Chain A
Amino acid sequence: MDAKRYELNVQLAQMLKGGVIMDVTNVEQAKIAEEAGAVAVMALERVPADIRRDGGVARMSDPAMIAAIKKAVSVPVMAKARIGHFVEAQILEALKIDYIDESEVLTPADEECHIDKTRFSIPFVCGARNLGEALRRIAEGAAMIRTKGEAGTGNVVEAVRHMRTVNREIRQLVSMPVEEVTGFAKSNGIPYELALKVKELGRLPVVNFAAGGIATPADAALMMQLGCDGVFVGSGIFKSATPAVRARAIVKATAYFNDPAKVLEASMGLGEAMAGLEIAAIPKEQLLAGRGW
């Protein structure tokens, strides 16, 4: 992609700031999400909680299903490709969706390489657990970053860990004399030029959303107060007892994340949240956040 196309892609992500991106698995859910005020929807056949339950290999969703959702809503539509699976990404680009998520929720297709995103015109969002991972993805052409969290658990602890880690590393970089940046970049696997940019800006140069385990309005507001620019909610909405009500509540809490009275209002009477999983209770080989590097 040329530089102007990359700018437009980064700027589309800027339009999503303060918003909630919701996982949907069919047209009906997509319409509920749009009506609730989602800034975009993520079209996929199974939400992460079901992928986790079913096991096996998780791949890109059927393009026919993604196309049906694209037709049904006017908000941007995202879809997931497997890490490193550049042909799935080519298919999604040919489908003319708005954003590709190169996602650890699907089974990686390549354990050594992520997709060279500079070869595409379509924007990419990628997950990151720390600053190095975020900047490696940006160097590869990602226009937007999100925490990995631990998808499909309804447990926000890993998303918090990832956001705090990124913030801590940014603080270290900001307070560091320039001559120490080379060593910091080397030991954290960070591209040097991008390290200098982050040091200057005091944050990532693109938007950084929360993702992975967000299940309540309070979870969303927590991630926003930690400095995220917006929120992805995967299983948290359509695995809850009252999806439409919860979707609206999370939208409210994300917009007014700094206003406890409004987050309180949003938290009232939502019915049951999705069942949660404790991270320590998940067998290590079933953790998703460790996929990619």
Chain B
Amino acid sequence: MSRAGANPSHSTVGNAIGVLDLQGDVFEHLDHLQRLGIDARPVKQIEDFDGLAGLILPGGESTCLARLLRIFDIEPVIVRKYHEGMKLWGTCAGAILLAGSLTGEAPHLGLIDIEVQRNGFGSQLDSFACEALIPKISSEPVPLTFIRAPKILHAGEGVEVLLRIEDFIAAAESADILVTAFHPELTGCLAFHRYFAAKCGLRPRTEEAAFDPSWNMTSWTRHARVA
């Protein structure tokens, strides 16, 4: 299992960004990364982690993702790669997996000092979209899609709040980890993916505007054609 572990002094950080492919909106993230000209790939097996500069933990169901991470022994690989320099970004369920503490339950990876409340808004009827200016990410307002989203209640030391809305934190980052309670991969805005790529030390194509006019709701489906 630990091929990289046999040679701990050798940095395995590469120039691709992976999307954890166990369950959830994997194709949507891959689609955004490819629009920026980034070498993007789904990550499912332990050997898939080799050569990643960064890993996105996508939206999905956090309990399902947490269980699969555990039974397939992927948790220690993510932690090890993180300590070797792989950057992390969790969107929605992914942010729950990365949180140092969860309201009323035990944390999972626990890599960033934030407290998260799962399903912080209610049912699907409480899901919503809005937009906000996040100067560090883009000079234009960024569309935000919250789907049965968690609330980040508290950010600890070394964690910078990127966006606060009313009583909760919607986006935050530490030196090596980005967390968003919303889903930039479900909008035509590439700014967050570009920001994360830069955080990973990659140079995404920057000639495009923050919004890709060719993106639409069904763009993800090109990764899942049946004919």
User: Is A98 in the interface zone, CB < 8 Å from B?
Assistant: yes
Expressed in whole angstroms, the Cα–Cα distance for A11 and B183 within the complex equals: 10
Question: Which residue in B183, B220, B226 is a CB contact (below 8 Å) of A227?
Answer: B226
Given contacts A12-B147, A121-B125, contact A167 B25 (CB under 8 A): no
Main SS class of interface, B: loop
Expressed in whole angstroms, the Cα–Cα distance for A256 and B226 within the complex equals: 18
Interface residues of B in 68-104 (CB under 8 A from A): 68, 71-72, 92-93
Expressed in whole angstroms, the Cα–Cα distance for A15 and B96 within the complex equals: 15
Chain B residues in 8 Å Cβ range of A202: 221, 225-227
User: Is B124 in the interface zone, CB < 8 Å from A?
Assistant: yes
Expressed in whole angstroms, the Cα–Cα distance for A77 and B21 within the complex equals: 23
Given contacts A99-B124, A203-B221, contact A12 B148 (CB under 8 A): yes
Question: Which residue in B21, B122, B128, B217 is a CB contact (below 8 Å) of A10?
Answer: B217
User: Is A74 in the interface zone, CB < 8 Å from B?
Assistant: yes
User: Is B184 in the interface zone, CB < 8 Å from A?
Assistant: no
Given contacts A12-B124, A36-B67, contact A7 B217 (CB under 8 A): yes
Q: Chain A residue with minimal CB distance to B28?
A: A14
Question: Which residue in A39, A99, A171, A173 is a CB contact (below 8 Å) of B61?
Answer: A39
Q: In the assembled complex, how far is the CB of residue A177 from the closest CB belonging to chain B, in whole angstroms?
A: 15
User: Is B24 in the interface zone, CB < 8 Å from A?
Assistant: yes
Interface residues of B in 35-53 (CB under 8 A from A): 44-45
Q: Chain A residue with minimal CB distance to B23?
A: A18
Is the Cβ of A8 less than 8 Å from the Cβ of B25? no
User: Is B106 in the interface zone, CB < 8 Å from A?
Assistant: no
Chain A residues in 8 Å Cβ range of B127: 8, 12
Interface residues of A in 212-262 (CB under 8 A from B): 227, 229, 248, 251-252, 255-256, 259, 262
Given contacts A122-B124, A203-B224, contact A252 B68 (CB under 8 A): yes
Chain B residues in 8 Å Cβ range of A104: none
User: Is B26 in the interface zone, CB < 8 Å from A?
Assistant: yes
Is the Cβ of B59 less than 8 Å from the Cβ of A15? yes
Chain A residues in 8 Å Cβ range of B118: 74
Expressed in whole angstroms, the Cα–Cα distance for A251 and B60 within the complex equals: 14
Q: How many positions in chain B have a CB within 8 Å of any CB in the partner chain?
A: 44
Question: Which residue in B22, B63, B72, B225 is a CB contact (below 8 Å) of A201?
Answer: B225
Is the Cβ of B123 less than 8 Å from the Cβ of A96? yes
Chain A residues in 8 Å Cβ range of B183: 11
User: Is B138 in the interface zone, CB < 8 Å from A?
Assistant: no
Is the Cβ of B68 less than 8 Å from the Cβ of A201? no
Question: Which residue in B44, B60, B145 is a CB contact (below 8 Å) of A19?
Answer: B60
Q: Chain B residue with minimal CB distance to A18?
A: B23
Is the Cβ of A167 less than 8 Å from the Cβ of B60? no
User: Is B186 in the interface zone, CB < 8 Å from A?
Assistant: yes
Q: Chain B residue with minimal CB distance to A8?
A: B127
Q: In the assembled complex, how far is the CB of residue B14 from the closest CB belonging to chain A, in whole angstroms?
A: 23
Contact code string A82-108 (vs B, CB < 8 Å = 1, else 0): 000000000001001111000000000
User: Is A34 in the interface zone, CB < 8 Å from B?
Assistant: yes
Expressed in whole angstroms, the Cα–Cα distance for A93 and B125 within the complex equals: 9
Q: Chain B residue with minimal CB distance to A169?
A: B227
Question: Which residue in A8, A34, A36, A122 is a CB contact (below 8 Å) of B129?
Answer: A8
User: Is A43 in the interface zone, CB < 8 Å from B?
Assistant: no
Q: In the assembled complex, how far is the CB of residue B56 from the closest CB belonging to chain A, in whole angstroms?
A: 14
Chain B residues in 8 Å Cβ range of A93: 125
Is the Cβ of B23 less than 8 Å from the Cβ of A255? yes
Is the Cβ of B147 less than 8 Å from the Cβ of A37? no
Given contacts A18-B24, A203-B227, contact A11 B67 (CB under 8 A): no
Q: Chain B residue with minimal CB distance to A170?
A: B227
Is the Cβ of B22 less than 8 Å from the Cβ of A255? yes
Interface residues of A in 1-19 (CB under 8 A from B): 4, 7-12, 14-19
Expressed in whole angstroms, the Cα–Cα distance for A286 and B17 within the complex equals: 51
Q: Which of A4, A40, A201 has most chain B Cβ within 10 Å? A: A201
Expressed in whole angstroms, the Cα–Cα distance for A98 and B127 within the complex equals: 10
Question: Which residue in B22, B92, B148, B226 is a CB contact (below 8 Å) of A203?
Answer: B226
Given contacts A17-B26, A203-B226, contact A251 B67 (CB under 8 A): yes
Beyond A14-B25, A76-B148, A167-B226: 5 further Cβ-contacts under 8 Å?
A: A18-B60, A123-B124, A171-B226, A203-B226, A227-B224
Residues of A within 8 A of B (CB): 4, 7-12, 14-20, 34-40, 70, 74-77, 93, 96-99, 121-123, 166-167, 170-171, 173-175, 197, 201-203, 205, 227, 229, 248, 251-252, 255-256, 259, 262
* Interface pairs (17), CB distance under 8 Å: A11-B145, A11-B183, A14-B220, A15-B61, A17-B24, A18-B21, A18-B22, A18-B60, A20-B64, A37-B67, A39-B64, A74-B63, A77-B123, A98-B123, A171-B227, A205-B217, A252-B68
